[in-house]
Amino acid sequence: MRTTHAATRALFEHARGQAIRIDNPAANINRDTIAPAPPRRKGLSFEGESLAAFVRAIPDDVKGWALRLHLMTGVRPGELCGAAWREFDETAGTWTLPAERTKTGSEYTISLPAQAWELLRRIRDNTQQSAFVFPAARGSDRPIPYQTYRAWLWRVMDALEIPRKTFKPHDLRRTMRGGLALLGVRFEVAERAINHKLPGMAEIYDRNDYAKERKAALAQWADYLDSLRTRANVVPIKKEAAS
C-alpha cells in the first residue's frame, strides 16, 4: 500500500509537470494514516535452554558445521558466506578478514579456538575443492549466497518448530555477543570480538584491539557451546571475565 501511494503520487506529479492536471490529489494524503509502517523487527537471540536446544538441533554435516562456526565466531553472515581458505592460517591459529570484506573497512584478525579448526578440517574434507570454504552448489568458483545459508538455518528452525521469520542469520551473531556478556567478558573486549567500534569518545581514546583478551573470550565461549551440546542439562554460565 505504501509503495502504491508513492507511485500514485509520482504519477500525478508527472501529470502536473506535463500540464495534464493542475493538482496532485495524492500530495496531501498521509501514507502513515492509510498504511502505517510495519513494526520494526526486534533482534532476537538464544540463551540458556533455548540456546541449548538450538545447539543440539544443529545437524552434523557441512550445513550444520557452518552454523556452528558462525555461532562460535560471531562474524557477520556475509563474512561467513564469503570465507576463502586463503584467509585462514592454521599455524598462527587465525582467520584474517581483508578490509574489503569487513563492514568497518579495516582488516580484522580473529584468533580461532580449537573447536573452530576442527570444524574447518571437517568442512575441507567434505566439500568440493574450491577457493571458498562454502562453495556454491552450482559452480565452486564462487561462495554460497546469503539465501542458501539462510535456508540452512531454516532447516534447524523447522526442526525446533520455530517460525522462520522470527530468527535470521544475523541473530546468531547477536546470540554470540549476548553470550560473551553473560560469561562476564568485559564490554570493550566483547565489542571488539564482533568487530564493533566502541561507542562515543571511547573509540577515539581506546585504540586497543584486545587480541589476547578476544582469543580467551572466544575459547571460553566455544567451551560453553560444547558443554551445551554434550551434556544432558544446561550448564550455568559462570561470570568470569576473560583475561
Extended strands (E) in the chain: 88-89, 94-97, 108-111
Q: Which region among 6-10, 63-67, 145-149, 224-228 has the lowest average model confidence (pLDDT)?
A: 6-10
Q: Is the dihedral of CA 209, 113, 109, 94 positive or negative?
A: positive
User: How many other CB atoms are there within 10 angstroms of residue 27's CB atom?
Assistant: 10
Q: Cβ distance 115 to 62 under 8 Å?
A: no
Q: Cβ distance 118 to 60 under 8 Å?
A: no
pLDDT band at 208 (very low <50, low <70, confident <90, very high): confident
Is a pLDDT exceeding 80 seen at residue 79? yes
Grid cell for residue 39 = 513494526
Radius of gyration for the chain, computed over Cα atoms and rounded to the nearest angstrom = 23
SS3 state at 11: helix
Is a pLDDT exceeding 50 seen at residue 236? no
Is a pLDDT exceeding 50 seen at residue 119? yes
Q: What is the rounded distance in angstroms from the CA atom of residue 239 to the CA atom of residue 50?
A: 19
Q: What is the rounded distance in angstroms from the CA atom of residue 177 to the CA atom of residue 191?
A: 8
Q: Which region among 43-52, 69-78, 106-115 has the lowest average model confidence (pLDDT)?
A: 43-52
Mean pLDDT calculated for residue range 184-201: 92
Domain ranges of the chain: 1-34, 48-230
For residue 155, the model assigns a pLDDT of 96
For residue 187, the model assigns a pLDDT of 95
For residue 197, the model assigns a pLDDT of 86
Query: Does 227 or 24 have the greater pLDDT score?
Result: 227
- In one-letter notation, the amino acid at residue 185 is V
pLDDT band at 11 (very low <50, low <70, confident <90, very high): low
Q: The pTM is what?
A: 0.79
Is a pLDDT exceeding 80 seen at residue 212? yes
pLDDT band at 126 (very low <50, low <70, confident <90, very high): very high
pLDDT band at 201 (very low <50, low <70, confident <90, very high): confident
pLDDT band at 27 (very low <50, low <70, confident <90, very high): low
- With b for 16 or more beta-carbon neighbours within 10 A and e for fewer, the 138-161 pattern comes to eeeeebbeeeebeebbbebbeeee
Indicate the CATH number for domain 48-230. Answer: 1.10.443.10
DSSP per residue, 48-113: HHHHHHHHHHS-SSHHHHHHHHHHHH---HHHHHT-BGGGEETTTTEEEE-GGGSTTSS-EEEE--
Grid cell for residue 117 = 579448526
Mean pLDDT calculated for residue range 95-113: 96
